[in-house]
Structure 1
Amino acid sequence: MRPQLSIPLSLLTLAITASFSSIAQASSVDNLPSSQSYTGLMFIPNAQVIDHGDFNLSFHQGVPYNSSIASLDDWFFAAGVFKGLEAGGRIVTNTYDCNGYFDTHCGIRDLSASFKYQLPFVYNYTGINLAVGIQDLGGEANNFDTRYIVADKTFDNLNLRLSAGYGQSNLAFGIMDGPFGGAEWQPLPFMQVIGEYDASKFNANAKLFTPEGLLPYGIQLSIDYELYTGHKNSDQSVWGINAAVPLLGYKTNKRQHLSVDNQQHLQHAINQQLDSHKNSNLQSLMAALKNDGFINLQLGKRDGKLVIALENRRYNHNPIDGVGVALGLIAANTSTKTFADFATTAKLKEEDKQHVELIMLTNGIPMMTINGNMSDYRQFLLTGDHNPSLSFNSYNAKNQFNQTQWLTQKENNGFGRSQIILSPELAHRTATEYGFFDYSLALGTNLYTPLWQGAALDIRHTLPIDESDDFKAGEIWGNSAYDNEIDRIFLHQAFKLPQNIMTQFSGGYMYGSYWGGMNETNWFSPEGKHSLGFKVSQFSHKDKDQSFNKKEDKGVRLAHYLYSQPEWNWQLELQGGEFWQGDQGIKATSSHWLGDARLSASYLTSKAQGSNDYENFLSLSISFPLTPWRDMKPGYIQVRGIDQFTYTLQTRVGADGHNNINTGLGGSNDLQHNLTRQYQGQNRLTKAYFDANIQHLRNAYIRYIKNVEM
């Protein structure tokens, strides 16, 4: 037991008194993490949430557990998923390598999910923020289960925020089990003093942090330390460190203002590029597109307008980046003189003489058309103060391509131009009875070679780099460790069918020992907000003696519905049927795009093969590109990183008396080069997405100028 203060004076009272006498310059009170699974004070929450687009990682010591403030490590990661909502995962552990099944001294090792939502509109009418939240959602062993409602009010002229709420919890000492309240006082731009009543006792701590905007890339660091606690049975002073980082590409659809002094050089470079259109011609246009690495280039005409077909393999974070760069290059290299060779031009009105249609290809297949007037688009690139008159269409791209009179042969033909895609491959088990983090890490080298239209050869090799003890041969997860082998060989053939239907047939070898084939088929509505599809596969297992083992045959039979709301950067997918392990069930996934990073939460209910009972799981995942924004220029060999690397944590929920590890339920044997990733840009190559992200087009061109001119 640690000695307590002789005078049980709560720093809550001190903070409030001092704040009223403060003459510090008024400023907002920063939103910082508590020592639990939410934004807040020390043990209690406030009504604030993580800023939309920020990712937080925290480490704390000192957790209310088993009738004490226990000496436990607390890892917490969370993000501002959309405005008003923060979601995260938490790991509380006593040991890191100890096997809890054989060693009784391992202590707790708990993985859980948490959510907090700030209710909209309340502040507009009352000046008070109101939030509801849940900590340690689901599961059988709800050691830290907490549910709460909390309100707060910020007094900017006093640098003070007051919070009060009511909670229900099973935390030690009755923390958060009843009414609670507290104050956050920020006398300096880098310091807060906190006082709180946690529904049981008074506590106080101090927080030091970097002021917003001090560190590059919007990063904010903070530390906190307990100054006082009324809980007598306290084995550990509560302290922690935290990092908040804006996720990759979050501001890619925000208008960029170029009038600031340090942007003048960039503004000049953009003006210079766009002014070059006055002396442009078709040859200079083709040269500009070819020099930047666009492939399968063709120029043609239809209905008196210039038609340009091309394929992007250089800008792999998001398909809209390739479109934005291509449109910028076209705007910088077209004028009325560019169309001098078109006999029909004379019949057009002057304002129509710079009308261009861009057809975006993927592996030679027309996927989307973009129509616009380049004179209007140049003005948009210069100022960004209006929406250009662009129209997007993925429904008729193939027909538009076929109806075009092509005036040039295909340049930079994509046939045989191979991509070598390097990426980390990570198999892991997190916060299990076997260890805090067990893993098998490998380097994946994927050779992807396009052949004829829609066809490609796909070969991947894995090279083991490192693995934890439990992934070694003969251990619990030894069979899931990566081997030094070619683990995938596939031939893909994709087709674009009428009514915006895409289908791909794939045949070959995967997972080191399975031979077979699959078909994926997707349909998108004209706007792109709705999608239906299915996936069917069947694979036979080949044993080490090269004989096929029918008992190990696997496959999937899954249907899905996808709803996309690009204005909210949100997608909801419902998937059901038979999964890879033979289990049958339903999976719902809510995905939230923060620029080019994606946060997803999935709920799975599935019945294992031969079982009568359904099992339920909650998963949280983050996906982000691991490759430069502007990749190597695609020659006959192009080396690049992966467009989306995904890390997932899963916990069992609603279990009946156990918290056993998931043994593969809900798997769907996804390929890297499936329809969603290879052809549909993670379901973002749609009219609805482009209509909602017009500024992203301009920002992509501005970023291109920075890369080539600055």
Structure 2
Amino acid sequence: MTSKHSTLVSGAVACLKLAVAGSALSFPAMAQNVDHDLAFPGYSGFLNVPSATALAHGQADIQFSDQSFYKGGYDHIKNVSGTFGVFPYVEVGGRLAWAETHSSCFQGCGIRDLSANVKVQAPLIPHEWFDLAVGIQDLGGEVNYFDAKYIVAGRQFGPVEFALGYGDPDVPNRYLDGAFGAVSFRPFPWLNFIAEHDSQDLRVGAGVTSPRGWLPGGTQVKAKVVAYNRGEYDDDRRFAAIGISIPFGNAGARPRLAQEAARTGQERAVEQQEPADALTARESVPASHRRSSDVENPQASSDVARNLGEALVDAGYERVRVASVGDTLHVRWENNLYNRDERDSLYDVASRAQKAAGIHGTARLTLLNQGLPVVNRTVSLGPDAKPYALAAEFAPGGVLPGADLTVSDWDFEGSFGPAWKPRLTFRPNISSTVGTEYGVWDASVALGTELSASLWPGALVSASYNTEFYSSEDFEKGGVFFDGRQRTGVIEAEIQQSLRMMPWMYTSVHAGRYAFDYRGALNETLILSPSGHHSLGFIGGYFQHREFDDISRRQALARYSYFNPGLDLQLDVYGGQFFAEDTGVRVDSRFWFGDYAVTLQYKNTDAEFVSLGWVIPLTPVKDHQFRYLQLRGDADWSYSVQTRINDDLNYTAFGGAGIVQSANPLREVYLNRGRFSNQ
């Protein structure tokens, strides 16, 4: 560390001691946990200096600023940063910096760069001791304007927070090149004063945040300003940033069907404190709804089953069957209402069974998809505030889709419309480039429409059509990205037959037209662990070009999938030969927040790519349907931004590790996108 660095850092520490002493007297009740903000470079932090904490799990911040370090100095360059707390103690983000929006960089455009950031906070250190984090800015690649690796420690005392760290950038003599430090003073939750030394320059500024509760959905507006600069590369210039912070997704917004082992002690205590209420509820059941063993009416239990079945059909469920066997209600139904997450349907049916149960003690629920039984839940129908599952498993049975050895005579059978009801799904399809030499953002946008219908159990016919309605100049004919545009025409038309060979094994065979120009056949096979947390899969196919006999494609991929329900984390690892016959690996991850997700992807075939994106459902929590038709949006629409890494130049590319599969693959149609858990 140079003498200049030592003097400035020591001065910051001295100021910190005075601020801490003052805050201990003036603000003894100030909470230690404060909102995390983005620094100008896009990671959570102060002005340019990173903090020792990561964004909170589920927090999403988007920021626009006008400061970038370029060609040895700071300049007013536009930046958009987006950072997500994807995991406890882990944040990932992306940054787009540009000087000119439309000009070609081959003729001169200044800086135009797309980069990725990662920060990890040490999870095992008590907050009362200190916080510690490591991070990488501008991950991967050779054309890196902002590359830096850093480690930072920090501590918070009431309204005062400080950080000290060390950085190593790819470009020397800029921020984070050596020791750095920062201190902030937050006299009010909405106001923050900041002073820092970023290893090269001394900087003072302030930040403001809209108070919690002023805006809907937990949204907060945030702004920062650099009011004073002094140093080698930044001398008395002003910069500003403005952004929003939102709790991403809707996790916790709706109840789930908890399992007995997962219920909290508080829930069990409430149940144990209500014996009188339970007795009252039992005695208040009309005699006509009690079991024949308790009353003289032998039809009482059958009436309960019929009433429940009619209620389910009226609600819009299909292929409904209900039977009363002893003190157990057996319920089978197909869900086409809760298309975002079928666990909502499990809870809805369990709640309806609980209300209609009479004196039935349990219900055995079986969820169907395309006529095939998928999962079973044995549910307590006691007087608890919420229904809960006593047992969870994949539905028993094998190749025979209608086999049910438990019930031979159903008290009710009905459906909201025919099994072959057509379903029309709409979605926007987007091809785009971000931060390339040709422009900041170029895009081709189309409306995708899929029509599907069920033929018999496990059989499905579908067709998808694409209609391009917008394209920027570079995606038009003659443009550099024309081949990657959204084409107008039939994307896919196929017929498929899926078989549930065993409760934990599915296979499907598909034939038809794929990827606009190819006809061929597909096979997908899936093997599940008993818990549903692990699966092994195979996706293979042969495709022949419709016009050129000498063009054909073979695809053969193995897939391992993992789902952690506690963290709502999904991981898919693909390996083998992809559709373009490039070979290698692809890793897809989803960090779920209710019905929304942040996605991270890594590809390594002919080149290496990373992408950051999100999943947003474009349909209501509960879809509406007519008796002979259903119109709905895409419940799993995704968009991502991709950049090349570990290459001499970040050439734009749309391909790499592409997978051609059915528009209705096994996990999406039958297994709630891989999010069913039996534990």
Structure 2 counterpart of 1:586: 585
Per-residue CA deviations over 1:377-416 (Å, capped at 9, x if unaligned) read: x41428xxxxx35211115265895212132334335422
Q: Which residue of 1 aligns with 2:121?
A: 118
User: Residues 275 and 624 (structure 1 numbering): CA distance in 2 closer, same or farther, change over 3 Å?
Assistant: farther
1:139 aligned to 128, 138, 141, which one? 141
Task: Verify the 8 A CA contact 1:394 1:686 in the aligned structure 2.
Answer: no
2:157 to 155, 158, 168: 155
Corresponding position of 2:348: 325
In structure 2, relative to structure 1, the CA distance for the partners of 1:592 and 1:117 (3 Å cut) is: same
- Determine whether 1:420 maps to 2:421: no
233-242 vs 583-592, greater mean Cα deviation: 233-242
Q: Is the 8 A contact 1:37 1:76 kept in 2?
A: yes
Q: 2:315 aligns with which of 284, 292, 296?
A: 292
Residues 20 and 157 in structure 2, CA contact (< 8 A), matched pair in contact too: no
Q: Could you tell me whether the CA contact under 8 Å between 1:12 and 1:204 is conserved in 2?
A: no
CA distance in 2: counterparts of 1:685 and 1:246, whole angstroms: 24
Matching of residue 334 in structure 1 with residue 357 in structure 2: yes
Confirm whether residue 109 of structure 1 aligns to residue 101 of structure 2: no
Corresponding position: 1:242 with 2:243: yes
Q: Which of 282, 299, 311 lines up with 2:334 in the alignment?
A: 311
Closer, same or farther: CA 433–513 of 1 in aligned 2, 3 Å:
same
Q: For residues 417 and 621 of structure 2, what CA distance do their matches in structure 1 show? A: 23
**What SS is found at the alignment partner of 1:127?**
coil
Q: 1:214 to 1:523 in 2, by over 3 A?
A: same
Is the CA contact 2:200–2:233 (under 8 Å) kept in the aligned structure 1?
no
1:234–1:465 distance in 2 versus 1, CA, 3 Å: farther
| Aligned mate of 1:371, from 363, 368, 378 | 378
Structure 1 residue 283 corresponds to structure 2 residue 306 = yes
Deviation at 1:172, TM superposition (A): 6.4
Rounded Cα–Cα distance in structure 2 between residues aligned with 1:552 and 1:96: 39
**Cα distance, 1:67 vs structure 2:** 0.7
Change in Cα spacing, 1:16 to 1:226, as seen in structure 2 (3 Å) is farther
In structure 1, how many angstroms separate the alpha carbons of the residues matched to 2:673 and 2:62?
Answer: 26
Aligned-partner Cα distance in 1 for 2:224–2:284: 57
Question: Residue type of the partner of 1:365?
Answer: L
The one-letter code matched in structure 2 to 1:528 is G
Aligned partners of 1:624 and 1:672: how far apart in 2?
A: 18
- The equivalent residue for 1:625 is 617
Residues 473, 406 of structure 1: alpha-carbon distance in 2 compared, 3 angstrom cutoff: farther
Classify the secondary structure of the residue corresponding to 2:386: helix
Q: 1:671 aligns with which of 662, 668, 671?
A: 662
Structure 1 match to 2:207: 207
Secondary structure of the residue that 2:319 maps to in structure 1?
strand
Residue of structure 2 in register with 1:222 after alignment: 222
| Paired residues for 1:157-176 under 5 Å | 159-171=159-171, 173-176=173-176
Contact 1:504–1:520 (CA<8 Å) still a contact in 2? Answer: yes
Q: SS state of the match for residue 674, structure 2? A: coil
**Change in 2 beyond 3 A, CA 1:18/1:561:** closer
Structure-2 change in CA distance of 1:37 and 1:521 (3 Å): same
Q: Which has the higher contact order (CA 8 A, sep 6+)?
A: 1
User: What does the per-residue CA deviation read over 1:410-453, in whole Å, with 9 as the maximum and x for residues that have no partner?
Assistant: 43354221211111111111111121111111111211211211
Give runs of aligned pairs for residues 421-500 of structure 1, distance below 5 A: 421-500=425-504
Aligned with 2:635: secondary structure? strand
Compared CA separation, residues 535 and 113, structure 1 to 2 (3 A): same
Letter matched to residue 626 of structure 1? L
CA distance in 2, matches of 1:443, 1:16: 60
Aligned pair in 2 of structure 1 residues 254, 139: CA closer, same or farther (>3 Å)?
Answer: farther
| Residue from 507, 512, 516 that aligns with 2:511 | 507
> 1 CA distance for matches of 2:559 and 2:570?
13
Q: Could you tell which deviates more after superposition, 278-287 or 399-408? A: 399-408
Superposition map of 1:50-129 within 5 A: 50-101=55-106, 103=107, 105-123=108-126, 127-129=129-131
Q: What count of residue pairs does the alignment treat as equivalent?
A: 625
CA distance in 2, matches of 1:217, 1:500: 40
Distance 1:634 1:513 in 2: 34
Letter in 1 for 2:122: L
Cα distance in 1 for residues equivalent to 2:284 and 2:47:
60
Please tell me whether residue 643 in structure 1 is matched to residue 635 in structure 2.
yes
Contact 1:224 1:239 in 2 (8 A): yes
Q: Which runs of 5+ in 1 are unaligned?
A: 1-7, 258-270, 337-352, 383-387, 543-547, 608-614, 689-710
1:617-662 alpha-carbon deviations (Å, 9 max, x no partner): 222221121111111135211111111111112221211x222223
- Give 5+ residue unaligned stretches, structure 2: 1-7, 259-263, 265-277, 290-303
Distance across 1 between alignment mates of 2:326 and 2:494: 41
What percent of counterpart residues are identical?
26
Separation of aligned partners in 2, 1:478 and 1:143: 29
TM-score after normalising by structure 2: 0.87
Task: Specify the SS of the correspondent of 1:508.
Answer: strand
Give, as a single letter, the amino acid of the residue that structure 2 aligns with 1:284.
N
2:294 is aligned to none
Q: How far apart are residue 591 of structure 1 and its match?
A: 2.6
What letter matches 1:586 in structure 2? Answer: V
Question: Would the alpha carbon gap of residues 423 and 531 (structure 1) be closer, same or farther in structure 2, given more than 3 Å must change?
Answer: same
Q: Which residue of 2 aligns with 1:350?
A: none
Q: Partner residue of 2:363?
A: 356
Q: Which amino acid aligns with 1:230?
A: R
Alpha-carbon RMSD: 2.7
- Looking at structure 2, the residues matched to 551 and 61 of structure 1 have their Cα atoms a distance apart, in angstroms, of 53
Label 1:148 to 1:414 Cα distance change in 2 as closer, same or farther (>3 A). farther
Instruction: Return the letter of the residue paired with 2:223.
Output: I
> How far off its partner does 1:576 sit?
0.5
The two structures have a TM-score, normalised by structure 1, of: 0.83
Q: Label 1:254 to 1:447 Cα distance change in 2 as closer, same or farther (>3 A).
A: closer
* CA distance in 2 between partners of 1:332 and 1:200 (Å): 68
| Greater shift in the superposed pair: 319-328 or 455-464 | 455-464
Alpha-carbon separation, structure 2, partners of 1:108 and 1:552: 41
Is 1:684 paired with 2:675?
yes
Q: Distance in 2 between matches of 1:381 and 1:302?
A: 23
Query: Is this contact kept in 2: 1:307–1:358, CA < 8 A?
Result: yes
Contact 1:362 1:679 in 2 (8 A): yes
Point out the structure with the larger helix share. 1
Asked if structure 1 preserves the Cα contact closer than 8 Å seen for 2:202 and 2:229, the reply is: yes
Stretch moving more, 90-99 or 408-417: 408-417
Amino acid at match of 1:109: R
Deviation string 1:584-629 (CA, Å, 9 cap, x unpaired) is 001123332222222222222113xxxxxxx222222211211111
